[in-house]
Amino acid sequence: MAQKHNFNVEPVARFAGLNAAIRRPREIAFFSFDEDHKFRLDASSLRYYYPPALPCDLSKGFETFRQLDDSDDDHLDGLLEAIIVYEKEKGSKTEIDFLTWRGMMTKLMIVPFSKLDDWEMNVTLFQGTIFIEENHTKKISSRGEQYSSAGRPGAMSQDLMSFWGYKFETVSLMPTPWPETSREYIESREDQVVSNHAQYCSIVRTGFGKVKMILGGEVDAVMAFKPEDRSQPIEWVELKTTATITNEREQIKYERKLLKFWAQSFLLGVPRIVVGYRTQQGTLERLEELSVQNIPDNVKLKGKGLWDGQTCINFAASFLEWLKTTVTSDGVWRIRKREKIPVLEVFKLEESGHGDILSSAFVEWRTNGLRSHQQHLQELADNAKVEASEPP
């Protein structure tokens, strides 16, 4: 049996006193999935926020929902395809310690305050970078268990409640900026067919402490417009729905939700979250805008203090630095978090290769394509120098 390496989560207090530095996430690339969920290296699925009319029935259109079948494992393919194009433009390899989806970093970051979480990730080391993906088999089986477990009598189905979130996006978003969007379109959003096939994915460069990383993740929308200058911050907005809070129990549940809301947005540099409060029957009643950077302080000062943002950051930095010293050879590794067990287990599954974590196109690019591309760029530069030195 493979040797297990354990990273202890408790005592959580040991991560509270640190102050890991964070690199501000900066978008370096992006891509879209279109309405057929086909990969496109463009911003065609970028959406713009404009608040919906209230009240709004979030159940309307459930029967015609175009739901994406995500039973296939896409691994890191879209992210890696965009990185290939980015490196072609840059003319060099991207020197980072980690590359993964935002969802994986969210899970890792909130571990100190998420005792009930149960998940697995697959890991491989290639050319000095650790690549992390979700263990798709575990994800699908966990979802099946969640959906098959009996809910409260009279409670809405999991499918319908998931739909409410996509419906909220549909009634809140536009395909063009507000000045270019007709009033007719804005007022007809409640009647549109809801689909979760199209996505805009932002790819950012960021870091925790000494660790440099690239994260990719879906963003819901931009507030007004996306600046052409990549050095400028982007006014992204995330949309979330939650039940209207009527008692202390629901307040505690909401505060726990805020941990994930905050971590997801923080990791991609999203500055604002719009929360849609709904009734138990799915009627959207009111909206609230949250500043992402203020959420941890508000939880501390006004809430029950159920989690601490800086502790999450410090934990993530410590774990990633430890993981760098643990995953030091080829093969496929696994990170495992088990419910109610305060340990992250890391162990090797396969002694060689990268499983399906890395696409064959990416491995070929890094092994041969990048070198050939650099040689081609050098030849072009040399020819340009010769032409410039020749007399007219």
pLDDT at 153: 54
pLDDT at 149: 56
Q: Please give the Cα distance from 100 to 357 (Å, whole number).
A: 10
Tell if the pTM clears 0.85, that is, is over it.
yes
**369 in a structural domain:** no
pLDDT at 3: 84
Listed in sequence order, the residues at least 6 apart from 187 whose beta carbon sits closer than 8 Å to its beta carbon are 53
**Run means of pLDDT, 10 residues per run, the chain, 392 residues:** 87 88 93 95 96 96 92 89 95 95 97 95 97 90 65 73 96 95 94 96 95 97 90 94 93 94 97 97 96 94 89 96 96 96 96 93 91 76 70 66
Listed in sequence order, the residues at least 6 apart from 298 whose beta carbon sits closer than 8 Å to its beta carbon are none
Q: Which residues pair with 31 in a beta bridge?
A: 201
pLDDT at 74: 87
**113 in a structural domain:** yes
**374 in a structural domain:** no
**176 in a structural domain:** yes
Give pairs for 83-92: CB < 8 Å, separation 24+: 83/29, 83/203, 83/214, 83/362, 84/361, 84/362, 84/365, 84/369, 85/29, 85/41, 86/28, 86/29, 86/203, 87/365, 87/370, 88/373, 91/373, 91/374, 91/377, 92/370, 92/374
Assign 73 to helix, strand or coil. Answer: coil
**387 in a structural domain:** no
**365 in a structural domain:** no
Q: Tell me the residue range of the domain where 30 lies.
A: 4-358
Q: Which residues pair with 3 in a beta bridge?
A: none
pLDDT one-digit tens code per residue, 138-179 = 888 877 666 555 455 556 788 999 999 999 999 999 999 999
pLDDT at 1: 54
**370 in a structural domain:** no
pLDDT at 304: 84
Q: Please give the Cα distance from 262 to 271 (Å, whole number).
A: 10
**54 in a structural domain:** yes
Number of domains the chain contains: 1
pLDDT at 146: 65
